[in-house]
Chains A and B, each alone.
Chain A
Amino acid sequence: MRRWSAVLGCAALILTACGSDDGSGDGGATAELTVFAASSLTDAFTEIGSDFEAANDGVAVIFNFGSSGELAAQIASEGTADVFASASESYMDDVSADPGVTGRTDFAQNRLVVITPPDNPADIRSFEDLGNPGVQVVLAAEGVPVGDYAREALDAAGIGDAVLANVVSNEEDNASVVAKIISGEADAAIVYVSDVTSQVAPDVDAIDVPDAVNVIAAYPIAVVEGAQDPETAQAFVDFATGPEGQATLAAFGFLPPPSA
């Protein structure tokens, strides 16, 4: 009996703690803005999110980062997103078909880069070297935007078959691909330039993918149909495409959108 009351006491304490936590903050009611964003945007959008919160009293931005395809599927089935930022136009097409979007616009671009461990065990000096026999290559899986773009670039360079034969793992997202190189488990990988963040840079070497074959990925953003507060959602879209958001994105290695 005594043990039960202790448990209940703890539970009550936790509940009240949560309650008061919600109430504090800015004094007023807090509106939550749920943003679904491609995992390659994790660092940049986390910063943009807190800048947006600082500029908009009473708004709390909640992120769900993941692979764009998975996010699009989640939006279609669960519909809990206010804003969707995708690493690929095709997944934004899916969401604009179901449940629909407004204010769609491109806000950034990304390009591919080859990364190797700093000691470059397979002696990769060019994009074509990925097809050399015995090179252990890691790519993002098909269906993950960066994985699809990488395969596109490899085909454009005419080394698709050779490199696919060298692939030792198809990873689920950019971060997992980068992790395999940082840990030195694989010889080379293809990721976005923005994946080579300042934290990652000391642990990998980057090798350029020539413009002729590089795939420039445009990132679209839009307000999702059925957003809790479409105005705030649109404000976030404007913030990301505005000067402050663009400066943050540039700092994280993203290129400006095609129109800019």
Chain B
Amino acid sequence: MARGGSRRITPAPVAVLSAIGIAFLAVPVLALVVRAPWSEIGEKLAASGAWVAFRLSLVVSLTAAALSFVLGVPIAWVLARSSFPGRALVRALVILPLVLPPVVGGVALLTALGRSGVVGSWLYDLGIQLTFTTAGAVLATTFVSIPLVILSAEGGLRSLDPRYEQAAAAMGASRMHTLRRVTLPMLRPQLAAGLVLAWARALGEFGATITFAGNLAGRTQTLPLAVYEARQTDPGAAVAASLLLVALSLVVLVAMRDRIFGR
């Protein structure tokens, strides 16, 4: 795409490889569209409980994205701005969920926060159970989404020119005031990108959720889980529910494209 009027010629190998790559990514999605049971899509979506799962998916993924943001940005701050022994290890630990298979995250959460888990058994004695609850689904989803906020925000903090903050401080602004009026506004693109990526990841979360929170319609069955369950009984409904997820994800990614890729 030509930008600012400057036309660039794409080298042939780049054009060919990119065409193959785009086809590889686009064809499966288009196949869903082609094979969707359009004539009865309303009934299929209703029968597979996709709408209930859709609503739950919105609640769970948005809550998880917000939690990821609230916890992830301070983590990024500490990693980027302070130095303490073991920082590299801490960074590896908090980024780990990004590369772990989500089911491993689910198992780890179960051993920590399950009813008979290390911390969970103690919570359970207080009358708090997280497994099989919507809160549990949110926690499992947050676990896999946080690293995206951390990576994005830490990258932004490290590339920030410190002189702006120094100038603010020199002019007598308090630390909190500098943070709110100088640092965070300058980080907006990275924070927005982290938030959207975390949300997109949360929307697609499957393994950690089903392992830790189980699969119950209306409580922990998010749209990906509903798709998986529908495959057993009604493959057409699974395709219909998949399309719903694709559509939702696409709408948000397209709407947010400028925030992720700069303008």
Contact = CB atoms under 8 A, between A and B. Distances in A.
Interface of A: 67, 69-70, 73, 136, 138, 141-144, 167-172, 176, 180, 183-186
8 contacts: A69-B232, A138-B214, A141-B232, A142-B233, A167-B216, A169-B213, A170-B217, A172-B232
Interface of B: 110, 114-116, 131-132, 210, 213-217, 220-221, 228-229, 231-233, 235
B232 A67 contact: yes
Contact of B214 (A142, A143, A171): A171
Contacts of A70: 231-232
A141 B215 contact: yes
Nearest to B216: A169
A172 B228 contact: yes
Contacts of B131: 168, 185
Contacts, number: 58
Interface SS, B side: loop
A11 B256 CA distance: 40
B216 A168 contact: yes
Closest 5 CB pairs of A and B: A169-B214, A143-B232, A143-B233, A168-B132, A184-B116
A193 B229 CA distance: 24
A73 B239 CA distance: 14
A185 to B, nearest CB: 5
B184 to A, nearest CB: 40
| Of B110, B210, B214, B220, most A-chain CB atoms within 10 Å | B214
A69 B229 CA distance: 11
A172 B215 contact: yes
Given A169-B214, A185-B110, A144 B232 contact: yes
B215 A136 contact: no
Nearest to B116: A184
| Of B217, B220, B231, B232, most A-chain CB atoms within 10 Å | B232
A151 B114 CA distance: 27
Given A168-B131, A185-B114, 10 more contacts: A70-B231, A141-B215, A142-B232, A168-B214, A169-B213, A170-B214, A170-B229, A172-B232, A183-B114, A185-B132
